[in-house]
Structure 1
Amino acid sequence: MLLHTLRGIAHAHSKGVIHTDLKHDNIFFSSLLSRQDIDATLVSNPPRRNPPEASMDGAVCSAVTQPLPPPSLDDAMKCEYLIADFGSAQLFDEPKELEVTSAPLRAPEVLLLGSWNEKVDIWTFGCLIFEFVVGRSLFRHESFRDPVKDITLDNVAYHLYQMACFLGEVDFPPEVLQYSRLASTYFNTDCTFKHALPLQLFSIRGQINSTKKFSPEDVKSTNEIVKRCLELDPADRPTATELLNDPWFLGVE
């Protein structure tokens, strides 16, 4: 699933297109159901309309359709996975300082309203690897209050703090902060956080290992590819094409 998604990212980047909205909702798969199977599903559970309800534009009548049956594990391994929804895509040569990507999947340069490039897709892909493997989001985009220190962080500050804790980075790279409009809001001139909340180091590797589902070798290789994607400095992240050659994908078609 992730390999096919990465191939889609690499193809888009080769055409000068940045997706900017990668998430599990935007990964589609080909169905192995026959036309007869699909017709039978439609007959047993046909599309319908909800009762009319008021909206700002007057009465609306929403349509409801049924999902196709989820594939079995064996069938899922035979499906092709495709990136969908390029409605927010950006071209390489356009100036980019907008907020993009679902909040928990945003790269640090996007959170800080800095300039960004195609490497935002690589950061998001690293988050998706963790999400698919562990079964939950890596980062939480929400405010946080420490009752002991009496320190409150807004959703951006707490998100950046989690990055530092999970990646073991005490200071953010000046290359990221230099051109970010919100850098002075959250960081001192020496690239340290303005808040005094001490880092609670909880490695990504430890979080993957805590699932108790993987061998030590799989934990190590998964941690390594996630960490490759989640470099705070986008210049240090691999390209999608380079990432396709990561040993994590060895033997996967």
Structure 2
Amino acid sequence: MDSDSDYSDCHSIYSDDDEEGLDDYKQGGYHRVLIGDTLQDGRYKIQLKLGWGHFSTVWLAYDSKLERHCAVKIVKSARRFTQGAKEEISLLEKIHSTNIDSPGYQHVAQLLDHFEHEGVNGTHVCMVFEVLGESLLSLIKRFKYRGIPTAMVKKVADQVLLGLDYLHRECGIIHTDLKPENVLVYVPNVETLLQDRFHIHGAETKPTSDEGDKTSTAATSEPSILEQVDTKGLTKNQKKKLKKKLKKKIQHRRKTESTGNRENKDGIVMSSVLDFTAGDQDVNAYENIVVKIADLGNACWMKDECNHLIQTREYRSPEVILGANWTEKADLWSLACMLFELMTGEFLFDPRPSSKYSKDDDHIAQMVELMGDTLPPRLKHDCEFSHEFFNKDGNMLHIKKLRYRNLHDVLEETYRGEDKLDLLTQFLTPMLQLDDEKRASAASIMNHPWLQD
């Protein structure tokens, strides 16, 4: 049961993980991209690699038509990925066109364009998005897994609720994979920052700085180059040729570094994380933080009846594990788990298997221990996998002794902020109801006093 989707990327767009494998550059696989390549009849010029997922790579490109930068997602060419991408595009187009005046519209990543590109490995669906900054996971790491400042978390919670309300109530869409990696920071002055911090100017990538140019001049002078190699026995003419060769090599390396065209041992372009805050841990740097929900690769329509496996493990809701038909309320469960992680730096649920029970057993047990034995009979007895977890009396089959705890106590143990825990507990509890029919909606929780406190 613990499997991933066939289509959605499980890596953040701005990934700091190892790069994709060379083996997937084949028919049906990734499209080979080099810095400086162009797409869509020259409109989009590739400047940096932003990241990758198991089914796509993502690149910073300059849009010569609109004269701005964008992020281009290039999907693998195999039929199942192409079909998944086309389904994602239909969802994204609905999001883009439904209600531009909705408060939540601004908190969902917007599709700007899409097209197909013919490559040596097949036809690749390409999606163009606005350039966004780091993910909330990056912020969790930035604050050393000790929790993000409460004021920031409240802003994030408020904006994600607005985004979810827009997706659910106005677009009829369930995200199904809400987690820190899939919420990205919006950068309002992206063009200025790309120039000032990353030295990327329009359609071209410039050297890193004036100081860098001076360094380049000094580094290519004869003594600094030739003193690093053995020139004993060389004639004056041979030294001159050697100097020219080394100078050319240094210039090529510097150009490669300045354009982000770094390659690993397999010749794969390395990702460049766009850290627009320069590693700043100062809370004031995030005072006006704006976030957007991203990666609709696993999203689906609310009108469809679904019971297939969704959500990343730590954010997965009980009805999904049990194989019930799930609704948009699954997104609210994920949101509560994500907010707990943002505040504490720890997972709310981190199930582990043993020789006597599975990871799913432990996950359900942890949920019941936290929220009480409030699973309704329909989830204990009538779901596809109910019989794997519960006996006819509704008791767990494989874990006999449960250690009950309440959310307030868990927050008291893990939360390092100075917030009112009673109010925080009251905010999270409605989103963590085991009975999804009683779980809060985004609309019903978005005006909670904790957000305003």
Q: TM-score, normalised by structure 2?
A: 0.49
Structure 2 counterpart of 1:50: 263
Give the gaps of 5 or more residues in structure 2: 1-155, 200-207, 209-257
CA deviations on 1:26-45 (whole Å, 9 max, x unpaired) are: 11112255634322322346
Alignment of 1:37-186 (within 5 A): 37-43=193-199, 44=208, 46-53=259-266, 61-70=268-277, 72-144=282-354, 152-169=356-373, 172-186=375-389
Larger RCO of the pair (alpha carbons < 8 Å, separation 6+): 1
CA deviation after TM superposition for structure 1 residue 177, in Å:
2.8
Larger radius of gyration: 2
8 Å contact from structure 1 (residues 41, 68) kept in 2: no
CA deviation after TM superposition for structure 1 residue 46, in Å:
4.2
Alpha-carbon distance in 2 for matches of 1:218, 1:37: 37
Alpha-carbon distance in 1 for matches of 2:340, 2:264: 40
Q: Residues 155 and 40 from structure 1, CA distance in 2 versus in 1: closer, same or farther, beyond 3 angstroms? A: same
Alpha-carbon distance in 2 for matches of 1:144, 1:245: 41
**1:35 alignment partner, one of 191, 203, 206:** 191
Structure 2 counterpart of 1:5: 160
8 Å contact from structure 2 (residues 264, 270) kept in 1: no
- Percent identity of the aligned residues? 22
CA deviations on 1:206-246 (whole Å, 9 max, x unpaired) are: 1211236344x611111122211111110111111001121
How big is the alpha-carbon RMSD for the aligned residues of Structure 1 and Structure 2?
Answer: 2.0
Structure 1 counterpart of 2:391: 188
Structure 2 counterpart of 1:223: 425
Alpha-carbon distance in 1 for matches of 2:369, 2:435: 16
Q: Residues 17 and 212 from structure 1, CA distance in 2 versus in 1: closer, same or farther, beyond 3 angstroms? A: closer
CA deviation after TM superposition for structure 1 residue 69, in Å:
3.4
The one-letter amino acid of 1:143's match is P
- Asked if residue 242 in structure 1 is aligned to residue 438 in structure 2, the reply is no
Q: Secondary structure of the residue that 1:64 maps to in structure 2? A: coil
CA deviations on 1:167-212 (whole Å, 9 max, x unpaired) are: 132x632132343111001101221111253111222211211236
Q: Secondary structure of the residue that 1:82 maps to in structure 2? A: strand
CA deviation after TM superposition for structure 1 residue 108, in Å:
0.4
Alpha-carbon distance in 2 for matches of 1:48, 1:29: 24
Q: TM-score, normalised by structure 1?
A: 0.86
8 Å contact from structure 1 (residues 17, 91) kept in 2: yes
Q: Secondary structure of the residue that 1:176 maps to in structure 2? A: helix
8 Å contact from structure 1 (residues 52, 62) kept in 2: no
CA deviation after TM superposition for structure 1 residue 123, in Å:
0.7
